[in-house]
């Protein structure tokens, strides 16, 4: 503990790391924290806050589960890499809870394939809670939460085998995926399932766009959690995020103009500050 | 307390990590950070043990109830136990890096070829997905088809033999059209994940607690 109080040389503002962008990063974080607190306080006080626009993929969630119910077939929802240290997993759990509750209400089976033995218990707990909230705890089937493998392609082989045998009418691929994304989505397409994907990897999105009916692109994966809840306090965090985004785009335009019209050899004040 | 304690623990861990990432103390050798890293390794190992218990519980339940394909559950438990025991008995429970011939053979000559076989299936899936996507049914699909054709011709060896300008054209698509879109996406993803993490720190997001 004593070693912790040793001051490293070159600390910025007395406590920040001497890396480039440490101060600007800290300021951005504080701005976002203050904005979020402000918007949440407004929402709690009952003041109106901007609403989230309609997101087709999220609107289609109910439709997909409804279709599976009509056809009497299960719904499959999975995220390949759902380890507890990934933010995508935390986003996925919100969708899992929502889907489990809807499936319980509609009396439709929900199948979840897990690749992480540690997350297995979390997934079971979330789905069981969904059934409990829907007032049908007896309908929960632990056999439908399945650990396949933690090996990428062994997991995929297990999942596509399940898709072929049980033919779910809806497939929700939400969270972190790698090379297995296309195999899963194409197999879902072959069995005629309505497919909704949500992913924030620029490398996997083209595969999902080519094969799925609806795709939540990039940040929509994270926004979905607030969107589904319809809670103004949750929505407040998204409003704060959008305000920062608009401010950043403003900074980009100003920065581009400064860089374009600055005198030769002069510093771009924005570039200097953001690198500080 | 069942609700508050995990959230308080998460908040404490998040603030600690945030402090380490931002502060200049990250550059100093901190004894307590070394301790927390050791705790992390210990907890991760314990979590794997809990994971194995989870798996055993799930599959034993399936075997007891003789549900459909229960034999696969028995096989899963047998493979898990036998491979683990074989590895431990060969070199003892506290030795890492088992290089014993048959132990390696199971991994190198059974698991890896099976893994690569599955990976190779991607080529066929790409072909069928590309065929559907590149059919010129509307304006967007046509634009995509033309762009893809230019990029493929740039990569294929026959491309430069047809025309030398594919490289410049592909570069323009990648640098002027693709790169800004990717950067816009990256900004959105960063802010989106940040807002998500904030919701968890503030205790607004509780689905992971089964609440």
SS3 per-residue string spanning chain B: CCCHHHHHHHHHHHHHHHHHHHEHHHHCCCHHHHHHHHHHHHHHHHHHHHHHHHHHHHHHHHHHHCCCCHHHHHHHHHHHHHHHHHHHHHHCCCCCCCCCHHHHHHHHHHHHHHHHHHHHCHHHHHHHHHHHHCCCCCHHHHHHHHHHHHHHHHHCCHHHHHCCCHHHHHHHHHHHHHHHHHHHHHHHHHHHHHHHHHHHHCCCCCHHHCC
Q: Is the pLDDT of residue A136 over 70?
A: yes
B203 contacts in chain A (CB < 8 Å): none
| A residues 34-73 lying closer than 8 A (beta carbon) to B | 36, 40
Contacts with B22 from chain A: Cβ below 8 Å: 16-17, 22, 25-26, 29
Q: Please name the residues between 52 and 71 in chain B that touch chain A, using a CB distance below 8 Å.
A: 52, 54-55, 58, 61-62, 67
Q: Give which of B147, B130, B156 is closest to B181, Cα–Cα.
A: B147
Task: Give the per-residue pLDDT at A223.
Answer: 87
pLDDT over threshold 70, residue B175:
yes
Does residue B175 belong to any structural domain of this protein? yes
Instruction: Tell me the chain B residues in contact with residue A255 when contact means C-beta distances shorter than 8 Å.
Output: none
Closest CA to B62 of B73, B53, B76: B73
- Whole-number pLDDT of residue A1: 41
Total structural domains in chain B? 1
Q: What is residue B26's predicted lDDT score, i.e. its pLDDT?
A: 62
The answer to whether residue B49 scores a pLDDT higher than 80 is yes
Between residues A216 and A236, which one has the greater pLDDT? A216
Contacts of A231 (CB under 8 A, 6+ apart): B204
Tell me the C-alpha distance between B80 and B77, whole Å. Answer: 5
Mean pLDDT along residues B69-87: 88
How far is B173 from chain A, CA to nearest CA, in Å?
Answer: 16
Q: What is the DSSP letter of A53?
A: P
Is the pLDDT assigned to residue A270 strictly greater than 80?
yes
Mean pLDDT calculated for residue range B59-72: 90
Tell me what the mean pLDDT of segment A19-38 comes to: 85
Of A115-129, B65-79, B100-114, minimum mean pLDDT range: B100-114
Mean pLDDT of chain A: 88
Distance CA B119, CA B122 (A): 6
- Residue A163: the pLDDT is 96
Instruction: For residues A242 and A248, give the distance between their C-alpha atoms in angstroms, rounded to a whole number.
Output: 10
pLDDT-derived band at B58 (thresholds 50, 70, 90) equals confident
Please give the pLDDT value at position A216.
94
State the pLDDT confidence band at B192, using cuts at 50, 70 and 90. confident
Percentage of residues in chain B having pLDDT higher than 90: 19
What's the mean pLDDT in B54-68? Answer: 88
**Do B25 and A8 make contact, defined as CB atoms within 8 angstroms?**
yes
State what percent of residues in chain A have pLDDT above 90: 46
Contacts of B172 (CB under 8 A, 6+ apart): none
For residue A142, give the chain B residue with the closest CA.
Answer: B58
Give the distance from residue A71's alpha carbon to the nearest chain B alpha carbon, in angstroms: 22
Judged by CB atoms closer than 8 Å, whether chains meet at A153 and B25 is answered as no
Question: Does the structure show a pLDDT above 80 at A229?
Answer: no
Q: What is the mean pLDDT of residues A236-245?
A: 87
Residues in Cβ contact with A242 at an 8 Å cutoff, skipping those fewer than 6 apart: A50
| A240 at interface of B, judged by CB pairs closer than 8 A | yes
What pLDDT is attached to residue A3?
Answer: 47
Report yes or no: A214 and A195 within 8 Å, Cβ to Cβ. yes
- B85, A153 Cβ separation under 8 angstroms: no
Across the A:B interface, residue pairs with CB atoms under 8 Å apart total: 182
ipTM over 0.85: no
A5 pLDDT tier (thresholds 50, 70, 90): very low
pLDDT exceeds cutoff 60 at A67: yes
Mean pLDDT check: name the lowest of A232-241, B33-42, B191-200.
B33-42
Q: Quick check: A127 and A110 in contact, CB under 8 A?
A: yes
CA-nearest residue to B203 within chain A is A234
Average pLDDT over residues A161-189: 94
| Predicted local distance difference test score (pLDDT) of residue B9 | 83
- The listed range with the strongest mean pLDDT (A206-220, B13-27, B75-89) is A206-220
Q: Which tokens go with A42?
A: 């407004």
Chain A (148-187) residues lying within 8 Å, Cβ to Cβ, of chain B: 151-154, 156-157, 179, 182-183, 185-186
pLDDT tens per residue, range A73-130: 999 999 998 888 888 898 899 899 999 999 999 999 999 999 987 888 889 999 999 9
8-state DSSP, A12: B
Correct CATH for A56-229 of 3.90.1150.10, 2.30.30.60, 3.40.50.300, 3.40.50.720:
3.40.50.720
CB contact A243 to B (< 8 Å): no
Mean pLDDT of B112-129: 89
Residues of the domain holding B198? 134-209
Among A104-113, B70-79, B105-114, B135-144, the range of highest mean pLDDT: A104-113
Q: Is residue B163 part of a domain?
A: yes
Per-residue confidence (pLDDT) for residue A160, from 0 to 100: 94
A215 forms bridges with which residues in the sheet? A197
Please check the confidence at residue A14 and state whether its pLDDT lies above 60: yes
- The answer to whether residue A207 neighbours chain B at the CB level (below 8 Å) is yes
Alpha carbon of A207 to those of A113, A203, B80, B133, B151: distances in Å? 20, 8, 34, 10, 17
CB atoms within 10 A of CB B73: 21
Position A37 scores a pLDDT of 85
pLDDT band at A2 (very low <50, low <70, confident <90, very high): very low
Q: Lowest mean pLDDT: which of A95-109, B89-103, B187-201?
A: B89-103
User: Residue range B189-195: average pLDDT?
Assistant: 87
């Amino acid at each position: 503990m004593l070693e912790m109080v040793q001051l490293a040389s070159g600390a910025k503002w007395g406590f920040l790391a001497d890396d480039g962008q440490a101060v600007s990063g800290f300021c951005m974080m504080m701005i976002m924290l203050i904005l979020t607190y402000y918007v949440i306080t407004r929402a709690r006080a009952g003041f109106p806050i901007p609403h989230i626009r309609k997101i087709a993929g999220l609107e289609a969630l109910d439709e997909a589960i409804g279709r599976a119910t009509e056809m009497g077939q299960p719904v499959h929802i999975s995220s390949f890499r759902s380890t507890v240290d990934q933010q995508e997993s935390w986003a996925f759990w919100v969708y899992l809870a929502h889907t489990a509750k809807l499936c319980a209400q509609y009396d439709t089976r929900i199948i979840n394939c897990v690749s992480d033995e540690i997350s297995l218990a979390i997934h079971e707990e979330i789905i069981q809670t969904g059934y409990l909230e829907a007032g049908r705890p007896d309908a929960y089937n632990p056999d439908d939460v399945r650990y396949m493998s933690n090996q990428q392609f062994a997991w995929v082989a297990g999942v596509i085998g399940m898709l072929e045998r049980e033919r779910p009418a809806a497939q929700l691929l939400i969270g972190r995926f790698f090379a297995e994304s296309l195999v899963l989505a194409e197999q879902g397409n072959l069995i005629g399932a309505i497919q909704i994907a949500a992913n924030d990897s620029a490398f996997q999105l083209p595969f999902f766009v080519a094969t799925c009916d609806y795709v939540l692109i990039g940040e929509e994966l994270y926004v979905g959690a607030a969107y589904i809840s319809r809670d103004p306090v949750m929505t407040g965090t998204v409003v704060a995020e959008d305000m920062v985004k608009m401010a950043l785009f403003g900074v980009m335009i100003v920065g581009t103009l400064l860089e374009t019209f600055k005198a030769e050899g002069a510093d771009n004040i924005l570039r200097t500050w953001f690198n500080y | 307390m069942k609700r508050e304690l995990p959230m308080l623990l998460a908040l404490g861990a998040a603030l600690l990590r945030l402090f380490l990432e931002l502060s200049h103390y990250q550059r100093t050798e901190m004894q307590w950070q070394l301790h927390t890293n050791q705790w992390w390794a210990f907890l991760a190992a314990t979590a794997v043990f809990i994971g194995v218990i989870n798996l055993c519980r799930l599959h034993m339940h399936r075997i007891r109830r003789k549900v459909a394909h229960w034999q696969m559950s028995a096989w899963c438990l047998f493979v898990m136990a036998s491979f683990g025991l074989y590895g431990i008995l060969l070199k003892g429970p506290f030795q890492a890096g088992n290089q014993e011939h048959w132990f390696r053979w199971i991994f190198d000559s059974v698991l890896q070829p099976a893994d690569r076989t599955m990976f190779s299936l991607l080529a066929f899936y790409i072909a069928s997905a590309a065929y559907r996507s590149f059919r010129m049914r509307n304006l967007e699909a046509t634009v995509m088809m033309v762009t893809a054709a230019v990029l493929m011709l740039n990569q294929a060896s026959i491309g430069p033999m047809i025309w030398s300008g594919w490289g410049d054209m592909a570069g323009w698509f990648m640098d002027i059209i693709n790169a800004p879109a990717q950067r816009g996406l990256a900004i959105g993803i960063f802010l989106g994940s940040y807002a998500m993490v904030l919701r968890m720190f503030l205790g607004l997001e509780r689905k992971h607690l089964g609440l």
